[in-house]
Amino acid sequence: MKLFAGLLVLAVGLFAAHWIVKLMERSRKFIRIEPTLRGFLENLARLLLYVTVVLTAAGVMGIPMTSFVTLLASAGVAVSLAMQGALGNFVGGVTMLLLKPFKAGDYVKIGDTEGTAKVVGVFYTELVTPDNRHISLPNSSLTSTAIVNYTREGTRRLDMVFGVSYRADMDEVFSVLMGVVRARGEVLSDPAPAVHLTECADSCLKFTVRLWCKTADYWDTYFYVMEEGKRALDRAGIEIPYPQLDVHIRDRA
């Protein structure tokens, strides 16, 4: 009868825990919490409820709690050694929530991986890449690598390089490229855009177009300036040369 009662408590408890988590998700106060923290709290609450249900069911079955806790403590030592990675992920998740290097919806680069942050879970952080791949990163790796947040400041700087022939008129190049930049409404006037000669390379003069735009407009502005810059230089008859190499042959005869 104790075994049956314990199994019944386990079944009902697991269902109740699931219902409580769902009820918490729908709570207005919970919905107002920042999405990254909300996902972590949801996973943590589910874990704690499940542990509570299991302990309660064990008590109903007649398992002495002292012995049970001692067994759990002993097993916990062994499990902690075997699950150092999981514990490291948990600590990493807590660290991310305390330091808040990014929040849900931010576009970030973590190591060699970049994408939009969805949630910091108990053990993993979820990113969605621009090509819609879902990537789960262990939280422990987040605390030991550089995190680049492209969204937090709201604006980004664009540096675009155009190479033109040494025969080109520099003033004309400045005028053509600035005309392309000024024609784009998403380009911010403060800080003001600029065009500079940044390198006298082997085969060309390299001009850098530097401008600022809102983060949301970054890629549209990038592609526009790159495409229209090439077209404008072509219309002006300004050559964009291929790499060139002059070979001098000496007659040793």
pLDDT for residue 105:
84
The SS3 of residue 64 is coil
Per-residue confidence (pLDDT) for residue 240, from 0 to 100? 83
Q: Is residue 114 located within the same domain as residue 144? A: yes
Could you tell me if residue 242 is inside a domain? no
**Same domain (yes/no): 179, 227:** yes
35 with 60, same domain: the answer is yes
Q: Which residue has the tokens 């106060």?
A: 29
- Section 49-77 average pLDDT: 71
Q: Which of 32-46, 120-134, 162-176 has the highest mean pLDDT?
A: 162-176
Give tens-digit pLDDT for 105-137. Answer: 888 998 888 898 887 777 788 899 988 898 888
Residue 208 belongs to some domain of the structure: yes
Please indicate, yes or no, whether residues 73 and 17 belong to a single structural domain of this protein.
yes
pLDDT at 83: 53
64: left (phi over 0), alpha (psi -120 to 50) or beta: beta
Say which CATH number the domain at 34 has.
1.10.287
In the chain, pLDDT over 70 holds for what percent of residues?
86
Residue 163 CA to residue 168 CA, distance in Å, equals 10
Report the range of poorest mean pLDDT among 40-54, 107-121, 155-169, 219-233.
40-54
Write out the E strands in the chain.
107-110, 113-120, 124-128, 134-138, 147-149, 155-164, 194-200, 205-214
Confirm whether 90 is domain-assigned: no
We report the CATH number of the domain holding residue 145 as 2.30.30.60
C-alpha–C-alpha distance, residues 213 and 218, integer Å: 6
pLDDT above 90 (res 181) = yes
Q: How confident is the model at residue 209 (pLDDT cuts 50, 70, 90)?
A: very high
Q: Does 83 or 237 have the greater pLDDT score?
A: 237
89: confidence class by pLDDT, cuts 50, 70, 90:
confident
Mean pLDDT on 169-196: 92
What does residue 135 show for φ and ψ, rounded to 5 degrees?
Answer: -120, 130
Q: How many domains does the chain have?
A: 3
Pair 40, 60 in one domain: yes
Continuous H helices in 83-212: 84-99, 139-142, 170-182
Mind listing the pLDDT tens digit for each residue in 50-63?
878 877 777 777 76
Whether residue 197 is contained in a domain is answered as yes
Residue 253 lies in a domain: no
The token duo for 235 is 């219309």
Residue 143 is part of which domain span? 95-149
Average pLDDT, the chain: 82
Say if residue 192 is in the same domain as residue 212.
yes
Angle between helices 35-60 and 84-99 in degrees, nearest 10: 140
Q: What is the CATH number of the domain that holds 183?
A: 3.30.70.100
Burial environment of residue 58 by CB neighbours within 10 A (0 to 12, 13 to 18, 19 or more): buried
Tokens of 88: 């490291």
Whether omega for the bond prior to residue 191 falls within 30 degrees of 0, making it cis, is yes
pLDDT given at position 123: 78
Cα 39 to Cα 46, 96, 115, 167: the distances in Å are 11, 13, 18, 59
Which pair of structure tokens corresponds to residue 228?
Answer: 């229209």
Where a domain ends, among 42, 61, 82? 82
Look at residue 251 and tell me if it is in a domain.
no
Instruction: Check residue 205 and give its pLDDT.
Output: 92
Residue 250 lies in a domain: no
Same domain for 29 and 74, yes or no, is yes
Which of the pair, 152 or 162, is modelled with greater confidence? 162
Residue 47: is its pLDDT beyond 60?
Answer: yes
